Chain A
Amino acid sequence: MQSALSLSFSQSSLPLANRPFCSSNAAPSFTPRNLRFCGLRREAFGFSPSKQLTSCRFQIQNRRIEISASAGNGAPSKSFDYDLIIIGAGVGGHGAALHAVEKGLKTAIIEGDVVGGTCVNRGCVPSKALLAVSGRMRELQNEHHMKAFGLQVSAAGYDRQGVADHASNLATKIRNNLTNSMKALGVDILTGFGAVLGPQKVKYGDNIITGKDIIIATGSVPFVPKGIEVDGKTVITSDHALKLESVPDWIAIVGSGYIGLEFSDVYTALGSEVTFIEALDQLMPGFDPEISKLAQRVLINPRKIDYHTGVFASKITPAKDGKPVMIELIDAKTKEPKDTLEVDAALIATGRAPFTNGLGLENINVATQRGFIPVDERMRVIDGNGKLVPHLYCIGDANGKLMLAHAASAQGISVVEQVTGTDHVLNHLSIPAACFTHPEISMVGLTEPQAREKAEKEGFKVSIAKTSFKANTKALAENEGEGLAKMIYRPDNGEILGVHIFGLHAADLIHEASNAIALGTRIQEIKLAVHAHPTLSEVVDELFKAAKVDSPASVTAQSVKVAV
């Protein structure tokens, strides 16, 4: 297993300037995969079967960072100040920096804001703190649930400031961990806004430094569509919402992707009523349709939530002069006015926009596309003429490939692998994503429609296996039998195309599948693996066992090689 790892440092990852936490993309066309955990994954490997990189690709062994720390920052190569300069100390930059040091590179990381970036300061980390609270509130408020356990709890209440403090304390703690982990390794943390002056030359503040290779990891900021006026009090983005300065009676959430969904979980648990505004025709558009349908039945319908789909919020005015927040809705297709809402607050969760202004990209003839920096599959930056810019890479939200903290980190590690002589291409299909609602949603690989489309194009068959949490002992013991796991696979060779889980601790269950995809493990192999009983992991085990692979024999030989 090559990529093992790293959970040990999850806390240490650091980010740079802005790392999105999961963002869904601003553009509806994307499949949002946002995420929210920060990335602890040290490396995700993918392989593209097409180009066999041969075995050396997977050379990495597991090591924990703590150990490698002793190695210290490498010596600079002759003519440069640094071997690697990373602009942005978010989770992506942090992952790259740690790996670079491990590889013996003299590394500097430039941060203009706070270490940790979006994920740690304004994203996955504080949102998990709020969600931890909402999960408990939900349980305590669910009389039926409590009764089923034989528990008696008197009315549960909360202290808003206490909840907000938990989130900010967690962010502070994780930020310190990240900073310390880099300091301990000898990574130079340079303060100031970084910009590219030319090939291999970077400016931060008034200083100019040179580096053999440069990684841009500047992340993203909340995307606010035009017509929406954010005042930070009644019309807010996730940046504000995470501070939990108020719990409005009625909040409209624009966008039903990961961010919107997680906040709906938090707000409804704390007593707010929520109205979703979604531009596409269905809620949770980025998810596998079957999962989003079930999720809607569990996460939306029974809660104090209603929604408008197929509409844009063309204009949102903050509350003032005694008037509520006004939201004008227009039909997403015809653009005709459809409705007006007046609510106590509006959260704009329409995705995230890359934070790439002021990076000096014009100095190297790079034109952004809707703000994103164009890169190839190895994260190498492509200039305005379609040529690769030597020694310049861009990872994370700034390139828009997959706006997840752990994806950024994985991309950064991939880049470090490349600059240290090991070709590496990250398989984005092996990167899991999770939404930390109660219960959670997680996924890796393709959705069923995507898989079917691909199958049609490439001429293979697709099969689906499903298991329910209702049959899982551990889930039933927790009185949390609601949930579904679904696997999309090729019956001809046992390849896992995608796994989607909705249920208790789904976010923690997905890794067995994502690792299998990353490593190329086939179903016929992994189904023989043993799972502890009784655990939620058996849901995934059942999934593998439920799959029917046609002719395991023919494929096995090949896959065995791949699998370690």
Chain B
Amino acid sequence: MALRGDWVYENNGGTCVAIAGADYTVVAADTRLSAGYNICTRDFSKICTLCGLLPLADNCVLASSGFQGDMKALQNNLSARHHIYYIFVQIYQHQHNKKMSCRAMAQHLSNILYYKRFFPYYTFNILGGLDNEGKGCVYTYDAVGSYERVGYSCQGTGGTLIMPVLDNQLKSPSPLLLAARDAGTPLSESEAVDLVKDVFASATERDIYTGDKLETIIVNAAGIRQEFIDLRKD
């Protein structure tokens, strides 16, 4: 093991948001990478969809914020393991290529994070995609792997600024209530994308680590679509 100094972490800032709808999921993150008061780059993607040959599971997208080194390591780890799973299944099942479902990837990510419980990945992750029925699903994580399926989530330095707005617009009755009430975001895909843009514009105003560009990924039955929108660069 390489000799490590006492403290190896750094927060590179940034914010991610994800919203799940009836048949789509929107995952968005800003593209600013900071170190202290410096901006290292305005063009850094916090979202991971493709890993060379294979997409990260059928229709799954991972957005992380926190320490960039751990972010990249986690993304590589996840896509490598998915690669192995994918190839294993090809060899041993002689069937159609089976990519990990979103639910399986969510638990897999939780395990990967927990196996680093004593030397955590300093990343705050959101996994977005479509579940087996084609409905949008968003899984939100803490840094050591506790996870939960939710209708919307935000992580990162701007997270506490954005969450109350999302709660106000999107909060639905808790899934834990026994007299089950109808949950689910009634917003359409374009309304959700507009909400995400508005919410990032506001967070950019008040969080120094958020800004520059907004990368939005929309996952729906037709596939994965990417959009870039400019944010304030100051």
The answer to whether A and B interact is: no
Residues of A within 8 A of B (CB): none
